[in-house]
Chains A and B, each alone.
Chain A
Amino acid sequence: MIKIFEIREAFKQALDSIKVNRMRSFLASLGVVIGISFVLLMGWVLSGLDKAMSDSFKMMGVDVMYVDKHDWSGGKSWNEVRNRPNITLQQANKLIESLQSVELAVPVARRWQAEIKYGPNKYQGITAQGTYYQFGYTPGGSIEFGRFFSENEDQYSSNVVCLGWKVYETMFPKGDAIGKTIKIEGHNFLVIGVLKKQGTTFFDFIDNIVYMPLSTFLKTFGKFRRTFSIAVKAGSEENLDNARAEVEGKMRIIRNLQPGEENDFSINESKAFEDQVKIIRTVVWSVGIGMTLLSFVVGIIGIINVMFVSIFERTREIGIRKALGAKKRTILLQIVFEAMLLSLLGAIISFFFTSFIAYITGTIIIEYVPQVEFLSPFMPYDLLIIASIISIFVGIFAGLVPAIRASNFDPVIALRYE
C-alpha cells in the first residue's frame, strides 16, 4: 500500500528538483505550454461561438419556425428548391386559419438586397419584410425604441417601418431615428420603431432587416409571382414538435401533396443556423486538434527526454535513496510526480498566456476588430480545469517510462555511478 507520507515526500522531492533546474524545467514544459494553449484557445473560440449562437436563437425565439419555399439549413439542392412552386398568400392565409396548436402565425413577404437611403447615407443589402402587426408579439418583433406598427396601419397600408438593429446603427449612428423619413427602394417610409438587437457577431445579419405592414409591402413591391413564408410561434419549446407536425400536415393538404410525395416546402427553425455553425466548429476543431496532438507529442517527447537526462544525472542519488530504504514505488512516484509537475507547470504557464490573450482581445483588439465581439475576455473556468487534468495525464504518461527505468536501478551499481 502506498502511504500518504510517501506521496507527500515524492511530491516534495519532485518540486525540489524542478526548482533546482528552473531553466531546463521551463524548456521541458514548453511543448505542453503550446499544446495546452491550443486546447484553451480553441475551447475559448468555440465557447464564444456557442454563446453567440444560443444568444441569437434566444432573441429570435427558440419556439419560432418559418414555413418557407427555401431551406435555410442548405440541406436541399438549389435546383430542387428553385423548382418548388411559390407559397401564395392564399395558401399562407389558409394555413394560418387552420392551425390550432400554435400561439401565433403570420405571413411574411421578403425582398432581399433592398437599398435604404437617409439623406446622404445609403445602405444596401438589407431584407425588407412585410408582415402582420401580430409579428410584434414574437421575440423577433420585440421593440427597443418606438413601437411596432398597428392593425390600422396594416389596414391602411401606411408607409411606416421598423428598423432592425444593424440598420438602425448604420443609418443613424447618432441615434434618434424615430420620426425620420427614409427611402426604401425609392419609396418614402416613416420610421416608427427600432427592433431589439438579436444577432451576435456572425449572426448579425439577422438584424439587417426592416419590417413594414404586409399591405404596404405588397403595394410597394408588387404582389405577383411572390412567395410568402409563414412565421409560426409554437408558444413554448415543448410545443415545438407538436406544432411542427401540425404545420407539416396542414401544409401538405394545402399544397395537395400525395402520401409518399416529398414536401415542396421547408419548415425552418432558428436551429437551422446550428448546421452552419457546426461547419465552423468542425473547421476550428480539425485544425486545432491536429495542431494540439502534434504539440502534445512534442511536449511528451520533451518531458520524457528531460526526465531521462534527469534520472541518469541522479543515478547516484537514486542509489543512495535505495540504500537508505526507498522502495521501487518510492522512486517511481518521485519521478512520475516530477514529470506531472513539469506538465502542470506548462499548463499553468499557458493559463496565464491564454488568459492574457483573451483579455487583450476582449478589451483592446475589440476596439479595432469588432468581429471578435463574440469572444469572452476571460478563459472559461471549466476549460482551465479540463486542461489541468489533460496536462496531469500527459505528465504521468511522459514520466512513466523514465520512472520505471529509475525504479529498477540496481542500487549496487547506482551507488558507484560517476
Chain B
Amino acid sequence: MDNNILIKTEGLSKIYQMESAQVIALKDINLEIKHNEYVAIMGPSGSGKTTLMSILGCLDTPSSGSFYLDGVDVSSLDDNQLAEIRNKKIGFVFQTFNLLPRANCIKNVELPLIYSGVAKEERYGKAVKALEDVGLGDRMTHKPTELSGGQRQRVAVARALVNNPSLIFADEPTGNLDTKTGEEIMKLFAELWKKGNSIILVTHEEDIARHAHRIIKLRDGVVIDDFRNPNPVIA
C-alpha cells in the first residue's frame, strides 16, 4: 500500500438496526485520503457525515467493508485497540468544545498524554507547549468556564495536537462561535495544515468548507461529490 495514504476505505457501510426497520447511514463508501490533506466532509443533517466521522475517527466500527488507517485495518480491532488508536493517531475538535469543566487548561490538554502513559514532567511540558502554540500561554491555569468560546476551542485544538496525531478531526468547529472568532479558529487550522498535519473538517457550512483543499459531499449515506477546491480561502 502506498505509504502516503492515510485513510483508505473499501465498501464501507453502516446500518443501524432499529426496532422495526433498518436505517442505512452509510452505503458503500470508497475513499482515499493522503497525508497532509485538508479535507472537508459536507452534507446536510442526516447525510451520514457524522457517522462517517465517527467511523474514520475510530469512535465507531462499520457494519461492513474495510477501513485502513495508516495501513492498519481498523475495522477488525476491538474496543481497547480502538481507544489506543484514538489516543495516538487522532485528535478531535468538537463543536461543543467538550472540555472537562472542572479541570484547568493544562489538565485538559494533558488528558490524552495521561492515557498514553507519558510521565508527569514530560506531560506538563508538552501541554504547555501545545497551549503556547495556540496562543494561550497566559491562560494555562484557567478553567474552561473562565474562557471565551474562541479560547475554549483553542484549548480543544491544543488538546487535539498534544499527542502529535496523524489526523485531526474537526466536527463543526466553528458552530458555536461568532463569525470573527470562527475565522480565527479556521486560521489556526490552516497553520496546522501548513505545519504538515492532516485535517478532516466536518461541516454543513459552505463558508467553512471553502477553507479546505478537497471537498467530499455526502447525501443519504452516499458520496455524491468529491473534488479539489481550486482556490481555498486563505484566512
A contact residues vs B (CB 8 Å cutoff): 3, 5-6, 9, 16, 20, 316-317, 319-330, 410-412, 415
Contacts and interface: CB of A to CB of B under 8 A. Distances in A.
Contacts of A3: 117
A324 B59 contact: no
Contacts of B57: 323
A412 B54 contact: yes
11 contacts: A317-B100, A321-B111, A322-B59, A323-B59, A325-B86, A325-B112, A325-B115, A326-B83, A327-B115, A328-B80, A415-B59
Interface in B66-90: 79-80, 83-84, 86-88
Nearest to B119: A5
B132 interface: no
B102 A412 contact: no
Contact of B84 (A9, A325, A415): A325
B189 interface: no
B28 interface: no
B159 interface: yes
B60 interface: yes
A412 B59 contact: yes
B31 interface: no
Given A3-B117, A319-B98, 16 more contacts: A6-B117, A317-B100, A320-B98, A323-B98, A324-B86, A324-B87, A324-B115, A324-B159, A325-B87, A325-B88, A325-B115, A327-B83, A327-B115, A328-B79, A410-B60, A412-B60
Interface residues of B, number: 25
Contacts of A322: 59, 83, 86
Contacts of A415: 59, 94, 98
B92 interface: yes
Contacts of B87: 324-325
Contacts of A412: 54, 59-60
Contacts of B94: 415
B147 interface: no
A336 to B, nearest CB: 17
Nearest to B112: A324
Contacts of B111: 321, 324
A411 B50 CA distance: 13
Contacts of B86: 322-325
A25 to B, nearest CB: 15
A413 to B, nearest CB: 10
A322 B90 CA distance: 12
Given A411-B59, A412-B59, A323 B102 contact: no
Interface string B50-63: 00001001011000
A108 B124 CA distance: 84
Contacts of A20: 102
Specify which of B59, B87, B102, B112 lies most central, judged by the most chain A CB atoms within 10 Å of its CB.
Answer: B59
B48 to A, nearest CB: 13
Given A323-B92, A326-B83, A316 B98 contact: yes
Contacts of A319: 98
Interface string B109-129: 001101111000000000000
A415 B92 CA distance: 11
Nearest to A329: B80
